[in-house]
Amino acid sequence: MGQIDGQNLKVERYGREQNTAGPEALATEIVRSNPDVIFVVGPGALIFKKLTSRIPIVVITGDPVMSGIAESLAHPGGNFTGVSIDAGPSIHGKRIALLREIIPTMSKLGCLALRLSWNGPVSGPAIRAAAETAGLPLAVSLVEFGASEADYRAAIESFSRDGANAVMVVDSPEVDQNSTLIAKLVGDAKLPAIFTHPAPVEAGGLMAYSFDLIELYKRVADTIAAILRGAKPGDIPFYQVTKFELSINLKTAKQLGLSVPPALVASADKVIE
């Protein structure tokens, strides 16, 4: 799209390395630097809503309407636009149903999530509602920003103590960054798990029901380029994910002593043998 970092575009990257005082302090620092556009992935979008109504903000987030950063998907109206990865509460029910096809005796579901994400207005309530509809009690284990390997191990070990016999790994950039480690730890704990991206399935996780992250980033790039050309974020519709792909690791299923129904294997977009 003609925007080249170091030539006609300056990209400033922010993360824990630049600010260890927490997400609120980091967001304040970013807004103070007064960029032309801010790109945020994950639940941190809500923090920026409190800090600026002027700087255009492009997000990959859950339900932007429910979280209050957009008036509607078609007409966001304010200074936010981007991509919604939330296909409605039914997506969590779908993931629970997929787990149940492989583990029909599932009696309690463990949920591993970032605390900020789970305690937001969308993720935690939607998953609780889906589990209630499925008649499944939950064992919830939350991690903080910057959680260590020991923190993740303790979180996953708690599921077995709480009687969970399957795990849903709730997506956020923080958790996704550690998804390969999580796949190993749930494997060590002999727990079947469903993820929201295929990479941990390739690393030994049981299954994923995922959206195409590369496609989403291309959508984001289109939106950022449009804003840099002068478009207003409130006039750019949010793109909502509609296509999901199923990945299954049959080797992991065998190691866990699970039988994957042939019909489920046939419906999978990616099968690891």
CATH code of 70's domain: 3.40.50.2300
205 inside domain:
yes
Predicted local distance difference test score (pLDDT) of residue 88: 64
Residues 104 and 131 placed together within one structural domain of the fold: yes
- Judge whether 94 lies within some domain: yes
Same domain, 75 and 129: no
Number of domains in the chain: 2
Residue 254 lies in a domain: yes
In a domain, 30, yes or no: yes
User: Residue 106: pLDDT above 90?
Assistant: yes
Within a domain: residue 3?
A: no
Assess whether 249 and 136 both reside in one domain: yes
Of 220, 253, 235, residue with least CA distance to 59: 220
For residue 12, tell me if it sits in a domain.
no
Instruction: Please report, for the chain, how many H helices and E strands are present, in that order.
Output: 12, 11
- Domain boundaries, position 182: 90-210+244-272
Same domain, 233 and 167: no
Q: Is the separation of the CB atoms in 161 and 154 below 8 Å?
A: no
113 shares its domain with 54: no
Same-domain check for residues 144 and 184 = yes
Residue at 152 is within a domain: yes
- Whether 190 and 203 share a structural domain: yes
Phi/psi at 117 (5° precision)? -70, -45
The phi and psi torsions of 150 (rounded to 5 degrees) equal: -65, -35
Domain presence at residue 10: no
**Cα separations in angstroms, 111 against 4, 258, 264:** 40, 20, 23
Other Cβ atoms closer than 10 A to 239? 19
Residues 39 and 134 in one domain: no
The number of residues in the chain equals 273
Query: Model confidence over 3-54: pLDDT tens digits?
Result: 899 999 999 998 767 666 788 889 999 999 999 999 998 778 889 999 999 9
Residue 248 and residue 124 share a domain: yes
Report the distance separating Cα 204 and Cα 107, nearest Å. 23
Give the Cα separation of 129 and 194 in Å (integer). Answer: 18
129 & 158 share domain = yes
Identify the pLDDT of residue 42.
Answer: 77
What is residue 41's predicted lDDT score, i.e. its pLDDT? 87
pLDDT (tens digit, 9 = 90+) per residue, 195-217? 988 889 999 999 999 888 888 89
E strand or H helix that includes residue 166: strand 166-169
Do 141 and 177 have their domain in common? yes
What confidence score (pLDDT) does residue 19 get? Answer: 64
pLDDT reading at 66 higher than 70: yes
Separation between Cα atoms, residue 49 and residue 71, nearest integer Å: 13
Model-level pTM? 0.79
State whether 36 and 71 are in the same domain: yes
Query: CA nearest 109: which of 82, 84, 79, 141?
Result: 141
Whether 51 contacts 29, CB under 8 Å: no
The per-residue pLDDT for range 222-235, each reduced to its tens digit, is 999 999 999 999 99
